[in-house]
Structure 1
């Protein structure tokens, strides 16, 4: 019998980091429950000394094992695991038959290398969203860099199976796509228009093809509702589309 798993995420369902974990759990065929709260008013049971993530207070986080309890009352008998990439590797270890992390050492190293490279998109994407100077150029450079790592043939980031590299990359690509579609955020709207043009360009054709394939997967559709996300971003930051 599978141990209980509770995933903690943001109330607006926008965090690409939480979506990474959700995608990995879905691809693994795991049974889990999700609990969401406002990240700007984190409850004591989450950030307190005996909470789910007293170290950084960040989401995502999961509890694993222990008794079935309400999410707001995490058991001291459950393991608390934080940081999206750490959680992804944990899920791959708990569900080895899912092949989320390949069995051979070389392929595992390739997956981990790819995941490390995703930081070239992660940081710039969020910096761009919040209007940080110079973030647009860094984001484009990051997208081009990650595209170079994608295989010329095949649908996955590494190898012939869906791995945690795909679970890591797809949500941040999706986040960038939503920003381009809504042009909503704290960035210059002219840069949002330029971003949309770049995403449609031949220069990013391979990355676009990869993203399209990943976003057509059934488990991605279970985890994501683009219309909901577009509406929430517009409500929070204004409609500039």
Structure 2
């Protein structure tokens, strides 16, 4: 019998990537909630290099880093493929997934959640990155060619978390007027991917988490 465990944290976009991929594949797993301020011995043993979530443990063997985990899941469980079959489209998908994970995700956090003198500069950097993504989407209809589940899952930070962070911070960087291609993509995912969207965290609960981590915002009003 297979043993599948996920070490993660509620509200963590990388953790949700892994959980959603497993649910799409129909794979049963045990979720172990980590206290990120007091990480478990198991997490540190399974990911001694980065000491971060998420970690997938499959039959006692650990795999770290969410993008790597997604590819492993897709290779082990063949049902409901995540990545495209064409080698070029697969390579393009990996490229843009890395761009979103390593460029856009930290830029969003810096621009919207971290106060300071550099906030305006960070916002400008984020807008520049979003314009790069917008150009790719408008030229190819969807990121990396034909849209695929892998790209939808990786891009949940853009699709789900950016609107939440904008409402929380009152910094509206990603708008339909400025980025119509990205918004068309978001609309398509919301329309087509109920199996993905139903597994995302509740917005108001996310606001509670943000207030704990970053403090209340004077202009924030819960809905």
**Alignment TM-score, normalising by the size of structure 1:** 0.78
User: Aligned partners of 1:213 and 1:230: how far apart in 2?
Assistant: 25
Unaligned 5+ residue runs, structure 2? Answer: none
User: Aligned partners of 1:200 and 1:181: how far apart in 2?
Assistant: 12
Which aligned pairs between 1:1-241 and structure 2 lie closer than 5 A? 3-10=2-9, 13-47=10-44, 51-65=45-59, 78-118=60-100, 119-128=102-111, 129-131=113-115, 133=118, 134-151=121-138, 157-160=143-146, 162-183=148-169, 193=170, 195-196=171-172, 198-215=173-190, 217-218=193-194, 219-236=196-213, 237-239=215-217, 240-241=219-220
Unaligned 5+ residue runs, structure 1? Answer: 66-77, 184-192
Count of matched residue pairs: 211
Contact 2:84–2:90 under 8 Å retained in 1:
yes
Sort the Cα spacing of 1:151 and 1:23 in 2 relative to 1 into closer, same or farther, 3 A. farther
Q: SS at 1:223's partner residue?
A: coil
User: Aligned partners of 2:158 and 2:54: how far apart in 1?
Assistant: 14
Sort the Cα spacing of 1:224 and 1:158 in 2 relative to 1 into closer, same or farther, 3 A. farther
Contact 2:107–2:126 under 8 Å retained in 1:
yes
Sort the Cα spacing of 1:43 and 1:8 in 2 relative to 1 into closer, same or farther, 3 A. same
Partner of 1:187: none
- Kindly report the root-mean-square deviation, in angstroms, between the aligned alpha carbons of the 2 structures: 2.2
Runs of 4+ in structure 1 displaced over 3 angstroms?
Answer: 151-154, 156-161
Q: SS at 1:38's partner residue?
A: coil
User: Aligned partners of 2:77 and 2:157: how far apart in 1?
Assistant: 21
